[in-house]
Amino acid sequence: QVQLVESGGGSVQAGGSLKLSCAASGSTHKRHCMAWFRQNPGKARERVATIYTGGGGIAYANSVKGRFTVSLDNAKNTLYLQMDGLKPEDTAVYFCAAVEILSWGDLCPPSSSTYTYWGQGTQVTVPS
């Protein structure tokens, strides 16, 4: 079992920056893919970025590539998402998620349905 708690959301002007954090607890000694997803009402949950706790596995949605940076502090069991150059279309509830990896294959799964553990979400608003 893994428990995830996000923080760091808020409202920021277009072009600004925010850094989201996701503190993990529980079975953090196991290898996991960690991911950030985002969702707006009535829309599907969209993968934003992924990273593997064993190293590698970093991938981004095309819509955020070059603006967002995912990172992991294994000592603190904390996942981060640095968001720069924010745009109104980045407005969403952001969720962190995790899935245990038993056999690493160089890529974290992109589909939200694969992830077992979820945080409660944090709102990011970029007014137009």
Q: Per-residue pLDDT tens for 96-126?
A: 999 999 988 889 999 999 999 999 999 999 9
pLDDT at residue 76, rounded to an integer: 94
Distances (CA, A) of 22 to 8, 41, 62, 84: 9, 22, 22, 18
Write down the pLDDT at residue 11.
Answer: 97
Tens digit of each residue's pLDDT (9 = 90 or more) over 14-64: 999 999 999 999 887 889 999 999 999 999 999 999 999 999 999 999 999
β-strands 68-73, 59-60: how paired? unpaired
Helix, strand, coil fractions of the chain, as percent rounded to 5: 5, 50, 50
Question: pLDDT digits over 76-103, tens only?
Answer: 999 999 999 999 999 999 999 999 999 8
